[in-house]
Chains A and B, each alone.
Chain A
Amino acid sequence: SQTIHQWPATLVQPVGSPLSLECTVEGTSNPNLYWYRQAAGRGLQLLFYSVGIGQISSEVPQNLSASRPQDRQFILSSKKLLLSDSGFYLCAWSRVAGYEQYFGPGTRLTVT
């Protein structure tokens, strides 16, 4: 069976500090990978998606970036966090030719 991991679970960071969130998937090969953000009381915002190693598509221009250094590893980064970056960050995966997305447990980020 497939499992998706995210860490850390919670994070409190000061404005202007860097960020690195990691997501890994087990039990499948060449998954599509997605990063979402869910701000308090708001819907899911797709930030990045990837269909393969090194292939990253950005949905929303901002101070975040993503990388996929390995097939089942997806990293979300920022060089300098803003207050508006606070939210619930979710990683998801889907099969190569499938729409069903499965979410990881998420990282709750608070920027102070």
Chain B
Amino acid sequence: QKEVEQNSGPLSVPEGAIASLNCTYSDRGSQSFFWYRQYSGKSPELIMFIYSNGDKEDGRFTAQLNKASQYVSLLIRDSQPSDSATYLCAVPGGSNYKLTFGKGTLLTVNP
């Protein structure tokens, strides 16, 4: 059973700070990793995906992948109150292009 673990939080950071969200996974063979953002009462939105070791940057968001240690991180620079949401990590969960989701980390950015 493929597992994805996330700290449920809540993670609270002041506005303008860097928020660091972490995710560990059990399957060493996982090749791709996805970050979703879910605002309260809304559906998840894909914000980042990463396939190879190292960093991938997109605006204020950076995904970091370390396959040897089996963790993937999402850094949010210059955090804004609008970043307050639950962030879900997902990895491929087997056949037919399924994803296994973590339970998410609740991030609160305080003005």
Residues on A lying within 8 angstroms of B by beta carbon are 32, 34, 42-44, 46, 49, 51, 57, 90, 94, 97-106
Contact = CB atoms under 8 A, between A and B. Distances in A.
Contacts of B44: 44, 90, 103
A103 B45 contact: yes
A106 B40 CA distance: 12
B43 A103 contact: yes
Nearest to B49: A100
Given A43-B104, A44-B44, A105-B43, A99 B97 contact: yes
B45 A100 contact: no
* Interface residue SS majority, chain B: loop
Contacts of B43: 90, 103-106
B87 interface: no
Contacts of A44: 44, 88, 101
B3 to A, nearest CB: 11
Give the interface centre of B97, B99, B102 by most chain A CB atoms within 10 Å: B97
Contacts of B34: 99-101
B92 A102 contact: no
Nearest to B32: A99
